[in-house]
Amino acid sequence: MGKPYSIDLRERVQGEIESGQSRRSAARRYAVSASFAVKLAERVSRTGSAQPARQGRPSGGGKLAPYLMALIEWVEVEPDITMPELAAKLKAEKDVTAHPASLSRVLLKAGYSFKKNTAGLGSRAPGRTPSA
């Protein structure tokens, strides 16, 4: 997403509009698009503020949110469960398909982290040696 214009520029454009200039001429003077000036004036008349709206999705949603407690319970019961196993369990018990990476992100947000072994390394496949 793009970065919103500064509040200083927004207030200057809005000041021009309030002083009687047209929205398009205010946009030309400050080298912004006409649609920005029109939308800014609409926003100020609707909310009373030139502050930009929050960008992005609202937090707390997502399809895994309703199943977070079940995921946490399963991880508490079986701490060594892998993400593909957790995805299969979620599919079998709740009939919800989720990618293992999505499950990992949800658990990281919930405060769970990747557990390392006593050597300080992540688990490796048998027969593999650490590269030098």
Q: Is 130 helix (H, G, I), strand (E, B) or coil?
A: coil
Across 22-26, 75-79, 97-101, 126-130, least confident range:
126-130
Helix axes 7-18, 34-47, angle to 10 degrees: 80
Q: How much is the pTM? A: 0.51
- Specify whether the CB–CB gap between 64 and 98 falls below 8 A: yes
Residue with tokens 């929205």: 23
Q: What is the pLDDT of residues 16-41, one digit of tens each?
A: 999 999 999 999 999 999 999 999 99
